[in-house]
């Protein structure tokens, strides 16, 4: 019963909340779709934490997506011990990178008092879920090795069964607890997207790729304006 709830009910609830919640928030609360950057309040620690975390997590996310989309290719590649070893070491390295990054970001939130006023309870939940997700991933990589191979052959069929609305938990229910926790926390992460700053995933300015070019023309002497006390300089614009 518990496995059915956590491995079937929870994933569908998380996906439903993610899709419907994101659509509603973007359409009705568009101005809240932001990452709420705190760079203005503190930038040095943010630079290192953000770079390490995003560099690691993006690579890991791409790796998981590739394994989900083309599992047969991954199984074929990992049948060669050298390829399997290279992929495992690379993934573990980026996992450590992302874990160090999220730790730096959490420490920054705690140590820099100016950030306390802009840190919500949901931010703390998100940090906790992400840290737990990365930590369980590293634990699995160390204690249940060669995950690249068994992820494609054993876990992907379960994930695909969820997306085609024909859930099959026969294999995942026999897996170690740590793997189940990793999967469950991944769906919890997905469910949190519409209710947190994770919503900025959907805020990429893709339309910039095809919008008209904007031409900026300066009609004032920048050097003179820096030394001037006037609030407005240059030629007064005219309406055509």
- The pLDDT, as a whole number, for residue 210 is 73
- The pLDDT, as a whole number, for residue 46 is 85
Closest CA to 187 of 70, 2, 18, 4: 18
Q: Which residues of the chain, if any, have pLDDT below 70?
A: 30-36, 39-41, 203-209, 213-240
Domain annotation for the chain: domains and CATH numbers = 2-210 (1.20.950.20)
- The pLDDT, as a whole number, for residue 181 is 95
User: CB–CB of 97/52 below 8 Å?
Assistant: yes
Number of Cβ within 10 Å of residue 181's Cβ equals 17
Q: Give pTM, 2 decimals.
A: 0.80
């Amino acid at each position: 019963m518990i496995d059915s709830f956590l491995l079937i009910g929870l994933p569908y609830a998380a996906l439903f909340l993610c899709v419907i919640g994101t659509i509603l928030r973007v359409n009705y609360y568009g101005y809240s779709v932001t990452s709420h950057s705190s760079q203005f309040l503190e930038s040095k620690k943010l630079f290192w934490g953000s770079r390490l975390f995003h560099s690691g997590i993006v690579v890991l996310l791409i790796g998981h997506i590739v394994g989900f989309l083309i599992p047969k290719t991954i199984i074929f590649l990992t049948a060669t011990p050298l390829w399997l070893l290279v992929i495992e070491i690379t993934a573990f390295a980026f996992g450590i990178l992302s874990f160090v990054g999220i730790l730096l970001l959490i420490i920054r939130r705690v140590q820099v008092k100016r950030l306390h006023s802009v840190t919500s309870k949901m931010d703390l939940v998100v940090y906790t879920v992400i840290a737990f997700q990365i930590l369980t991933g590293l634990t699995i990589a160390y204690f249940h090795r060669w995950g690249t191979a068994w992820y494609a052959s054993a876990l992907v069929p379960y994930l695909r069964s969820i997306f085609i609305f024909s859930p099959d938990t026969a294999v995942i229910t026999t897996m170690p607890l740590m793997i189940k926790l990793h999967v469950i926390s991944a769906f919890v992460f997905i469910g949190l997207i519409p209710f947190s700053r994770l919503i900025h995933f959907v805020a990429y300015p893709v339309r910039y790729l095809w919008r008209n070019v904007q031409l900026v023309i300066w009609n004032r002497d920048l050097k003179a304006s820096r030394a001037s006390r006037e609030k407005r300089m240059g030629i007064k614009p005219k309406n055509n």
